[in-house]
Amino acid sequence: MKRIVLPLFFLLVSAWLLPARRAFAQAEDPRDSSSPYGVLDFFAWDQAWNHFHYGDDKVDRAVALMKDAGIEFVRLDFPWAELEPQKGRFDFRRYDHILDLMQRNGLHALGILAYNPSWRSGDWNAAPVLEDYLAYARKIVRHYKGQVKYWEIWNEPDSETYWKPQDDLTAYSQLLKAVYPVIKQEDPTAQVLIGGLTNGNPFHLRTLYQKAGRGSFDIVNLHPFVSPLRPNALDQLHGIYVSVARVMQEFQDADKPIWITEIGCPGVPEGSRTKGWWEGPNPTEAQQAEWLKTVYQNVLGWKGIQKVFWAFFRDTPDHWDNGVDFFGILRTDFSTKPAYDAYRQLTQDARSATP
């Protein structure tokens, strides 16, 4: 009996400990964090067309300020054109530096896999040649699988600005279905996000379920911009969320996480004559800070919302030539806006409230 009972005892103990071990392993994943606090920023921008936005030591300065604000996730492009400047020839040097710097400072990456390189004929935002895109995605995921867990497939495929042609997401659905198993082959632990939906979120999400299927992504991704100057801004934002949640229920997929990987508004200095953004008149820096607090204090309490990324971290002067250039919670010169102080206070309060 003793020879039978003793192994059985250890078997039972091992079975009981296995979930705990798995949970511990997940919690210790250096690529991940349970923090819901993220930002979008443009670390890839070091070219003439963006005024060398992150040239020299500017990435280092931004990372230090992100860390100080309690930010733990950064959404950033892994631009096809920069990483594969010639077909079949990859250059990882800049991004190796960026990812190493982020990791040393406790920042985790959500990587966007987009847009067309110059060696591929057609527009930068055209539906990519599938074979070439899959090769690029495979190479990037393989190289960074020790540093990046989350991958977003393109950006805003329901917007003509970022995806052509607008064919009711047919070509994008084909891409999503094809790239999902490629990423999982390279890194079974990776999580795949749909490209953030921005126009008619619930309707386009339904289309993706119909054409790509729920097995083609792990996380639902939204860009629900609302002007904080509207008296019902929070209600409008909540209405978008409710509509999306209903679509997820409709396709028996309600347990998937929802990430908001872009939300924000301008924070324009008093007296500025900058043209308004697409939602209308520009909020001031003080109004931007209030909207940021309202978003995080409310949205993170809605069921299924796992992370919220403020857009942007730093202003982008003379890029859009309207209020969008003032989306940052930092000014161009790295001085902080009231929204930065509000963000830092939110993360400090969250840490204080954690047992």
In the chain, which stretches have pLDDT less than 70? 1-27
Distance separating alpha carbons of residues 34 and 37, to the nearest angstrom: 9
Distance separating alpha carbons of residues 326 and 343, to the nearest angstrom: 16
Domain ranges, ordered by start, for the chain: 32-353
Distance separating alpha carbons of residues 121 and 330, to the nearest angstrom: 37
**What pLDDT score was predicted for residue 353?**
86
**What pLDDT score was predicted for residue 335?**
98
**What pLDDT score was predicted for residue 5?**
38
> Residue holding tokens 């896999």?
113
Q: Are the C-beta atoms of residues 136 and 84 closer than 8 Å to each other?
A: yes
**What pLDDT score was predicted for residue 229?**
98
Q: Are the C-beta atoms of residues 102 and 109 closer than 8 Å to each other?
A: yes
| CA-CA-CA-CA torsion sign (338, 330, 288, 306) | negative
Q: Which CATH code of 3.40.50.150, 3.30.40.10, 1.10.3720.10, 3.20.20.80 fits the domain covering 32-353?
A: 3.20.20.80
**What pLDDT score was predicted for residue 14?**
40
Q: What is the pLDDT of residues 7-52, one digit of tens each?
A: 433 333 343 333 333 333 345 899 999 999 999 999 999 999 998 9
Q: Are the C-beta atoms of residues 343 and 71 closer than 8 Å to each other?
A: yes
Stated pTM of the model: 0.91
**Among candidates 83, 82, 63, 81, which has minimal Cα distance to 73?**
63
**What pLDDT score was predicted for residue 37?**
98
| Cβ partners under 8 Å of residue 190, min gap 6 | 141, 145, 148, 149, 150, 151, 183, 184
Radius of gyration of the chain, Cα coordinates, nearest whole angstrom: 21
